[in-house]
Amino acid sequence: MDTVLTYDPRWEYMSKDRTPFWASLNTVEYVVKLLEETDNTVLLVETDYTFEQRLRAIKSRYSELLVFWLNEFMPTDSGKDVFTVNVIEKVGMMHTGPGSKALGIGLNKEATKEVFRHLGLPTPESYIVYVDDYSPINQHDDWENYVIVKPLLQGNSRGMDEFSVTRANDSELIIQLVMKIHDVFDEPALVEGFVGGENAKELTVSILITHDGRTAELPLTEIDLSQIPTVQGKFRFLTHDIKDEKYYLKIPADLPSDSISRIHSEVGRIIKAIDCRDMTRIDMRGDSTGLYYIEVNVNPGKNRFSYLTTSAYSLGLDYPEIVGFIPHQAMLRYGLEPPSKLEELVEPVTALFDTG
């Protein structure tokens, strides 16, 4: 099978004494080797300013070609990053992972919340504050309790620190937090009701998805908030500084079986509504008033110790099998025949769907 493998020209190698991030040349080398060992021919392509032209040239020479994009974002002449899959779709090529529409929903926290609300699922109240328009803050100064202020379009807890939570009616401080996000990220801010009262709980739900829409639920992961340092004396949540440490995970989460079944049923509806593919991860928080949906990670982290892979390890799966599942399902989705060695590699993963 001929496969185009894309990566960001800004990526670099990480030192051997550190676990590589997905966004690194270490990952590029690893995936090239994995694909070649499973009888795929790899065409390695940087997503620089000539990416579209090179894709069109490659497409003209191959009748069956799959694009496995490693980098969600790529640079452009304008200086603004765009989804790599935007260009792949424009050229009209088969590709791994979700499409640009699903990625756009997952990237935008308020758009994701609109999906939750449309499905009748609980999610914290929220409002957007655009650059140079702080009127929504004063319009919501009758809110009670606390809010958390986040960048609207960032992932991995970027822009969140020990000062991100404040009283919902402290308009002056909220404006300061919002202005900081506007300045640092040049994007709108989301002000969201903070779920973190008595009996606070945080969960992440990892799901594998076949080419024909079947799902396999990996064990629910709980963020053990008792292990998270308190900020401002009372709040516990994941900031960007500790997001990758993972010392605070409990697998499986401590939840009643009926609650787990309900969550998986609701997550199945979310997956269909957004059109998630291959794998996804959904974040939740809860307190004494119930569980609330927070975000959908349409393109979840896939490094060796991400939330999804760590959950998968608890079922006995190995890292090569998890990564190989991505191109394997994309091939089946487009009616391509995966190489037999790739089929053999992912058998432990596909077996999950046979056993439920």
Residue 316 is assigned to a structural domain of this protein: yes
Q: Please report, for the domain that includes residue 26, its CATH number.
A: 3.40.50
Write out the two tokens for 47: 């997503």
Residue 250, pLDDT score: 86
Q: Find the domain containing 181 and state its range.
A: 125-193
- Provide the number of structural domains found in the chain: 3
Does 67 share its domain with 185?
A: no
Does 180 share its domain with 205?
A: no
Task: Give the end of a domain, one of 135, 161, 193.
Answer: 193
Tell me the whole-structure pTM to 2 decimals: 0.90
Task: Give the end of a domain, one of 53, 77, 95.
Answer: 95
Does 52 share its domain with 156?
A: no
**Using CA atoms, how far apart are residues 205 and 84, in angstroms rounded to an integer?**
26
Residue 225 is assigned to a structural domain of this protein: yes
Residues in Cβ contact with 133 at an 8 Å cutoff, skipping those fewer than 6 apart:
none
Task: Give the end of a domain, one of 143, 161, 193.
Answer: 193
Does 164 share its domain with 237?
A: no
Does 13 share its domain with 139?
A: no
**Using CA atoms, how far apart are residues 148 and 177, in angstroms rounded to an integer?**
9
Q: Please report, for the domain that includes residue 206, its CATH number.
A: 3.30.470.20
Q: 10 Å Cβ neighbour count for 249?
A: 18
Does 187 share its domain with 225?
A: no
Residue 115 is assigned to a structural domain of this protein: no
Does 205 share its domain with 181?
A: no
| DSSP, res 162 | T
Does 220 share its domain with 339?
A: yes
**Using CA atoms, how far apart are residues 314 and 75, in angstroms rounded to an integer?**
37
H-type alpha helices, 93-245: 100-107, 109-118, 135-139, 171-185
Residue 103 is assigned to a structural domain of this protein: no
Residue 15 is assigned to a structural domain of this protein: yes
Does 207 share its domain with 345?
A: yes
Residue 231 is assigned to a structural domain of this protein: yes
**Could you read off the pLDDT tens digit of each residue along the chain, which spans 356 residues?**
899 999 999 999 988 777 668 989 999 999 999 999 999 999 999 999 999 999 999 999 998 899 999 999 999 887 788 999 999 999 999 999 999 999 999 999 999 999 999 999 999 999 999 998 999 998 998 898 899 999 999 876 677 777 888 999 999 999 999 999 999 999 999 999 999 877 788 899 999 999 999 999 999 999 877 776 665 446 666 655 555 555 578 899 989 999 999 999 999 999 999 999 999 999 999 988 899 999 999 999 998 988 999 999 999 999 999 999 999 999 999 999 999 999 999 999 999 997 65
Kindly report, residue by residue over 289-346, the tens digit of the pLDDT: 899 999 999 999 998 988 999 999 999 999 999 999 999 999 999 999 999 999 999 9
Does 76 share its domain with 155?
A: no
Does 186 share its domain with 210?
A: no
User: Can you tell me whether residue 8 is helix, strand or coil?
Assistant: coil
Q: 10 Å Cβ neighbour count for 168?
A: 18
Residue 11 is assigned to a structural domain of this protein: yes
Residue 119 is assigned to a structural domain of this protein: no
Does 77 share its domain with 159?
A: no
Q: Please report, for the domain that includes residue 156, its CATH number.
A: 3.30.1490.20
Residue 231, pLDDT score: 56
